[in-house]
Amino acid sequence: MQTLKNDLSVIEKVVPRGSKIIYLDYPLHLNVGDLLILKGAEQFFKENNYDVLVRRSDQTSMQYVEKTRSIPQDVTIVLHGGGNFGDLYPAHQRLREAVVTKFKNNRVIILPQTVHFKEQANLEASGRIFKQHPNLTIFCRDTTSKQILETHFCDNVVLCPDMAQSLWNIFPQQRKENIKHDRMWMIRRDIEETNLSSLGETPDPAHCVDWHDICTDRDREFMVMMHRFERLNRKIPGNLFPTTRMWYRYTDKLVARVNELFMSYQSVTTSRMHGHILCCLLKMDTRLLDNSYGKNSGYYESWTKSVPGCELVKL
C-alpha cells in the first residue's frame, strides 16, 4: 500500500511541488467512493504544497468555466478523477471538454480515471476535442483506459493509482476489537450494477448495502442544503456561501463513520471499487467482484492484486 501511495508521485512530475492549481468537479454528492477520491486528492495537494487558488464542485464548475475569461498561464487546471470519463456520465465529460476547449494556454491535468464509452461515435467525437489541447495530461487507472486515451485523446497518458491511495496511513487500520460481524456485502445498484447470477452464493440481506444505504437522511438533507447554496452561488457574484468548507468538514465526519462501519466486519465482498480500496486502506480482507464493464478487475490487475487480503472473484 505504501508503494501504491508512492506511485502517485508520477503526478508530481507533471505538476511540480508548490504549483498553483485550480481544482474542478469535486463531488458534492453522497457516493462515498467519490468522496474518498476527494479526500485523497486533497491529501496529495497538501503533501505537495500545492497552492489551490479555486475549488469548485460538480454543481458550479461548468459555470466557473463559462464565466472565467482567462486564467494566469502559470496556473494548472486539475480535474477530479474517478470512473466517469466517457458517455455514462455526460455532464462530467462535457465539463472536461469545455475546459480543454477554452483554456488552451494552461496546463490541464485529469486525475486518475477509468474510461468507458458505450458508443464509438461518442468516443471519437470527444477525442477530437481533447486532441486540440497542446498541454494536456490524463492519468488513468488501468491499461485498457490507457490504450483508449493514447489512441483517441492525448499523447500524454500516464498510468496511476486512484487518488484514494494517498490516504494510506492517514486512515485508521482495523484491530481485532473492532470486529463485531462476519461479512459485509457492498453491492452496487446503479448503472454499473453487477450481475451476480453466476456467483453461486446469495448475499445476506441483513448485511448487504450500497453507499446509499450507509448514508443517512441527515446526510441527504445536508447535501440538499449544499445544493441550494450552490444554486445561490451561481446567481450571486462572489461565491457567497462557503459550501466547500462546509461540505469538506461534514464529509470528513461521514467518511470517519463509514470507516468505523467497515472495520466492524471481518471482511467485505463488494462490487464497488472504492469499497475494495477502502478495505485496503483499513487493512481489511476484501473480495472484489467486477462491475458491469470491467473497471474493478482492471484496477485490481493493475494495482491491488499484491495487497495482502485481496481477492478478485471472476463471474
pLDDT at 198 over 70: no
pLDDT at 197 over 80: no
Residue whose C-alpha cell is 454528492: 29
Question: What letters, b where the CB count within 10 A reaches 16 and e where it falls short, cover 100-133?
Answer: bebbeebbbbbbbbbbbbeeeeebeebbebbeeb
Give φ, ψ of 78 to 5 degrees. Answer: -115, 125
pLDDT at 266 over 90: yes
Residue whose C-alpha cell is 457516493: 31
Average pLDDT rounded to a whole number, residues 174-191? 90
- What does the pLDDT look like over 21-51, one tens digit per residue? 999 999 999 999 999 999 999 999 999 999 9
Lowest mean pLDDT among 53-57, 206-210, 258-262: 206-210
**Under 8 Å between Cβ of 299 and 141:** yes
pLDDT at 192 over 70: no
Residue 257 banded pLDDT, cuts 50, 70, 90: very high
285-289 β-sheet, strand order? 208-209, 181-186, 265-270, 285-289, 310-313
Cα angle 263, 265, 269; round to 5 = 110
- What does the pLDDT look like over 46-92, one tens digit per residue? 999 999 999 999 999 999 999 999 999 999 999 999 999 999 999 99
pLDDT at 114 over 90: yes
CA torsion, ordered 2, 265, 112, 223, to nearest 10 deg? -130
pLDDT at 167: 98
pLDDT at 237 over 90: no
Report CA torsion sign: 46, 159, 307, 263: positive
Average pLDDT rounded to a whole number, residues 198-210? 80
Residue 200 banded pLDDT, cuts 50, 70, 90: low
Lowest mean pLDDT among 88-102, 137-151, 170-184, 188-202: 188-202
Question: Collapsing DSSP states into helix, strand and coil, what is residue 180?
Answer: coil
Which residue type is seen at 35? L
**Under 8 Å between Cβ of 130 and 136:** yes
The residues near 127 (Cβ < 8 Å, ≥ 6 apart) are: 151, 152, 153
Rounded mean pLDDT of the chain?
Answer: 94
pLDDT at 295: 86
Lowest mean pLDDT among 34-38, 178-182, 188-192, 299-303: 188-192
Rounded distance, CA 286 to CA 279, Å?
Answer: 6
pLDDT at 291 over 80: no
Average pLDDT rounded to a whole number, residues 298-314? 93
